[in-house]
């Protein structure tokens, strides 16, 4: 315990968030302001609107996070911020806010990768045990990440087309559900049955990569055919059938990866980690406890600054600081 206090900022997409994290594990505050209502009528995130909201919100959200944590800027060990990937205009708001605070109060600046943040959300739940595997499933990412130690990320498999969350949102849209559609499909799937055998994209036998665009097209075609034949569609069953296909592939590939790499833990990360069907399927698959399954609470699955603070703590301990030329980088590599 070093009394390490990190102010973290996240503005990569449509959530403006600030958090104060103690020793990389304890959340003193985690304020999240969602813009979902503003983007809903466009059926997705509009980058220009996102940037404007971040500008309006950022100062208020940071002040609220500091107040709730009862911390002064002078007490901070560092200020951390998501530097990428994400929407460039959105990232810049957070990066500039963090730089200003670092400069004004003469404290270290730490740039954090958004996906490292999603993975390290798990450190706010439980101590991490290496080597570990992380299944990252969000609106922009679908990756299996092997970590031999803190701060080391090896992507062993990733999507070749759509991210899981993207597939959920696109299918939801064709079903006439509001944005973001993931949670709606999840809810409907729980009330339906798998009546349609949608394809599973296993790819090459030894591949840990994923593909969801074929499945997405198959769902869209099925809906189209039902409509043409004038048949009734049971939306719950379509949701359940789609979700069953997604989950089976995710769980089987993840299981094989944990076995081949001999990991101690499996971490679930990203917005789609909120999916009840996926959480339950992983719980069952890893019920023996041989590999410890860690799943963050819902509030730490979708975008938030607490996870950025947890990831920044690892860099803080290694003195991995950023300079004032830190920039928003929409295509940043993990
Ligand atoms: O991590 P996140 O908040 O933002 C990105 O970095 O992308 O993830 C958002 C994604 C959206 O596609 C949303 O539909 C999906 O996570 N999502 C879900 C659920 N909750 C959020 N997908 C399936 N089931 C859910 N319960
Ligand atoms: Zn995210």
Every domain of the chain with CATH number 3.30.420.40 lies at 5-119+301-317, 129-295
Tell me whether residue 169 is annotated as binding: yes
| Ligand 2 geometric centre to CA of 225 (Å) | 34
Q: What is the DSSP string of 238-276?
A: HHHHHHHHHHHHHHHHHHHHHHHHT-SEEEEESGGGG-H
Ligand 2 centroid – CA 295 distance (Å): 15
Spatial contact of 253 and 163, defined as CB atoms under 8 Å apart: no
The three-state secondary structure class of 135 is strand
CATH for 129-295?
3.30.420.40
Give CA angle at 265 (263, 267), nearest 5°. 125
- Residue in the block written with tokens 């359940």: 240
Per-residue pLDDT of the chain (334 residues; tens, 9 = 90+): 468 999 999 999 989 999 999 999 999 999 999 888 888 888 888 888 889 999 999 999 999 999 999 999 999 999 999 999 999 999 999 999 999 999 999 999 999 999 999 999 999 999 999 999 999 999 999 999 999 999 999 999 999 999 999 999 999 999 999 989 999 999 999 999 999 999 999 999 999 999 999 999 999 999 999 999 999 889 999 999 999 999 999 999 999 999 999 999 999 999 999 999 999 999 999 999 999 999 999 999 999 999 999 999 999 999 999 999 999 999 999 9
As given in the structure block, the two tokens for residue 137 are 């499933």
Determine the distance separating the centroid of ligand 2 and the alpha carbon of 84, expressed in angstroms.
10
Give the span between the Cα atoms of 44 and 169, in whole angstroms. 9
- CB neighbours of 215 closer than 8 A, spacing ≥ 6? 167, 198, 199, 200, 201, 242, 245, 246
| pLDDT score for 49 | 87
Give the separation between CA 159 and CA 172, rounded to whole angstroms. Answer: 19
Whether pTM exceeds 0.90: yes
pLDDT of residue 248: 98
Query: 225-246: b or e for each residue (b if 16 or more CB lie within 10 Å)?
Result: eeeeeeeeebbbbbbbbbbbbb
Residue 303, annotated as binding a ligand: yes
Domain 5-119+301-317 annotated CATH 3.30.420.40: yes
How far is residue 268's CA from residue 293's CA, in Å, rounded to a whole number? Answer: 8
Task: Give the pLDDT of residue 117.
Answer: 98
Q: Which of 139, 141, 296 to mutate to test the pocket of ligand 1 (most atoms within 8 A of CB)?
A: 139
DSSP secondary-structure letter at 60?
H
Residue 2's pLDDT is what? 63
Ligand 1 site, CB within 6 A: 13, 138-140, 165, 168-169, 180-183, 186, 270-272, 274-275, 302-303
């Amino acid at each position: 315990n070093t009394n390490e206090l990190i102010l973290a900022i996240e503005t990569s997409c449509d959530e403006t968030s600030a958090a104060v994290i103690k020793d990389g594990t304890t959340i003193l505050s985690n304020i999240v302001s969602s813009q979902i209502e503003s983007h809903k009528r466009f059926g997705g995130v509009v980058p220009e609107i996102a940037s404007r909201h971040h500008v309006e919100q950022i100062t208020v959200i940071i002040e609220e996070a500091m107040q709730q944590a009862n911390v002064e800027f002078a007490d901070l060990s560092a200020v951390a911020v998501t530097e990428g990937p994400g929407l460039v205009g959105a990232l810049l708001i957070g990066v500039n806010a963090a730089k200003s605070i670092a400069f004004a109060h003469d404290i270290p600046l730490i740039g954090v990768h958004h996906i490292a943040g999603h993975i390290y959300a798990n450190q706010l739940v439980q101590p991490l045990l290496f080597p570990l595997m992380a299944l990252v499933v969000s609106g922009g990412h679908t990756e299996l990440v092997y970590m031999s130690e803190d701060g080391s990320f090896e992507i062993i498999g990733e999507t070749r087309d759509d991210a899981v969350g993207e597939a959920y949102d696109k299918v939801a849209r064709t079903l006439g559900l509001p944005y973001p559609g993931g949670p709606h499909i999840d809810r409907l799937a729980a009330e339906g049955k798998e009546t349609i055998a949608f394809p599973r994209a296993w790819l090459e036998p030894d591949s840990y990569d994923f593909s969801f665009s074929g499945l997405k097209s198959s769902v869209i075609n099925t809906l189209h055919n039902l409509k043409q034949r004038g048949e009734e569609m049971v939306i719950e069953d379509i949701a359940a059938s789609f979700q069953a296909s997604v989950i089976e592939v995710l769980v089987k590939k993840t299981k094989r990866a944990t076995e081949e790499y001999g990991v101690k833990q499996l971490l679930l990360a990203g917005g789609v980690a909120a999916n009840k069907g996926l959480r339950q399927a992983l719980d069952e698959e890893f019920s023996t406890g041989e590999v410890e399954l860690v799943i963050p609470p819902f509030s730490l699955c979708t975008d938030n600054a607490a996870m950025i603070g947890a990831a920044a703590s690892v860099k803080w301990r290694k003195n991995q600081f950023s300079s004032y030329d830190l920039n928003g980088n929409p295509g940043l590599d993990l």
